A and B are shown apart, each in its own frame.
Chain A
Amino acid sequence: MNGKKGKIWEENVIIETITRLMVPFIQIYALYVMVGTEGAGGGFQGGVVFAASIVLFTVTFGISKGRKRLPESWNAALNSLGLYLYAGVGLLCIVLSLGAAQYLNYAALPLSQIMSPAHTRALMISDVVEVGIGLTVMSIFASIFFDLAWKGEGEKNKNKNKGEKEVQE
């Protein structure tokens, strides 16, 4: 089905060059959307844009090269790291204020004795919470994409055999 060479995708110089040029800029834009609170956007949007850059790279260069850029172990670690960051900051607020503050009350961190409480909240929101959300969303979306699109090395032959058998029958 996939041609005589058995390739799933075909190499195309134009698409590969454009992708090589675009992916870094998409990722920088994703970080700009994710970190910082001045403009529109946030963790969810930035994470999705970041995942879109990974999807674009994988569509262009093939799934094994794409998986090499975002290995499965990293993906599995990042999945939960973002959520741990978010929930951990909330727990840290309780622990470091010795139970005086509520869960997720960022201003109760000891950092607020150096800066004002308002700036502590702003720093926690823009640099920890949003990044945590972004990491989780990015790696989950990439993981879903890879799981749906994967055709592993072991399965390739099986499918080929199946196809040949069907043709023979």
Chain B
Amino acid sequence: MKPISAVALLFVAVLGILFIYVSMDIPDFGDPCSPANRYVNLHISIDAGADGLEDSLRAGIIPDELSSRIKARGFPSPLETEYTIEEVEGGWDVLIAMEELLYPEPEKYYFLKEEGNKLVVYRYSIPVRWEEKCEEEIGVPNMVTAGLADYRGYDTLGETTVIFTAGIAVILLLRRRGKL
């Protein structure tokens, strides 16, 4: 056996082990708690021990301390926009009306959760909106098509351009007649 094929075998083995590890690490499909699908931790937190925190959240008011910390991180702050709070299992949803042209209704933006002594802020990721509002916003029963042509319209335009460019390149290089 040549040394280079031994190295190649080693690489293949390492790649195989990596793939097995990655496939074991992927959360189950549709798992509501999988972080990749549901929400992202923003690492903003305040002490949850203060009196009246739950009551104020139930009354629909976010403490000013939390709002200012969110603002300091550059996310849309509850201080400046109108918001509503809904109590759900395990925490609170904060719905914020984003400044969109045709959909001014509030959408799920933050998720507040008590962990230990702290109240932690999570941000809902895009697939949540995709799942919940796709049919209402786009009117297409097929979520994949809606994502392909609307939410990721720029991406698809680029893909079409890539195919077009490939065809033009083949025409320029391989066309064997004088006239185009």
A and B are partners in one complex rather than unrelated chains: yes
A binding-site residues for B, Cβ under 8 Å = 37-40, 42-44, 72, 76, 79-80, 82-83, 86-87, 90, 100-101, 103-108, 112, 116-119, 121-122, 125-126, 129-130, 132-133, 136-137, 139-141, 143-144, 147-148, 150-152, 154-155
Chain B residues touching A, range: 20 to 34
Interface contact A133-B160, CB-CB below 8 Å: yes
Residues on A with beta carbons closer than 8 Å to the beta carbon of B153 = 90, 104, 129
Q: List 8 A-B contacts (CB under 8 A).
A: A72-B180, A104-B157, A117-B137, A140-B163, A140-B166, A144-B167, A147-B171, A154-B177
Is B148 located at the chain interface by the 8 A CB criterion? Answer: yes
A126 pairs with B101, CB closer than 8 A: no
Tell me the interface secondary structure of chain B in the complex: helix
Contact B138 A118 (CB under 8 A): yes
Cβ-closest 7 pairs across A and B:
A140-B167, A118-B139, A122-B139, A104-B153, A125-B149, A37-B145, A37-B140
Cβ distance A132 to chain B, nearest Cβ, rounded Å: 8
A152 to B136, CA, bound (A): 54
A155 vs B177: C-alpha distance in the bound complex, in angstroms? 9
Report the bound CA distance from A38 to B146 in whole Å: 11
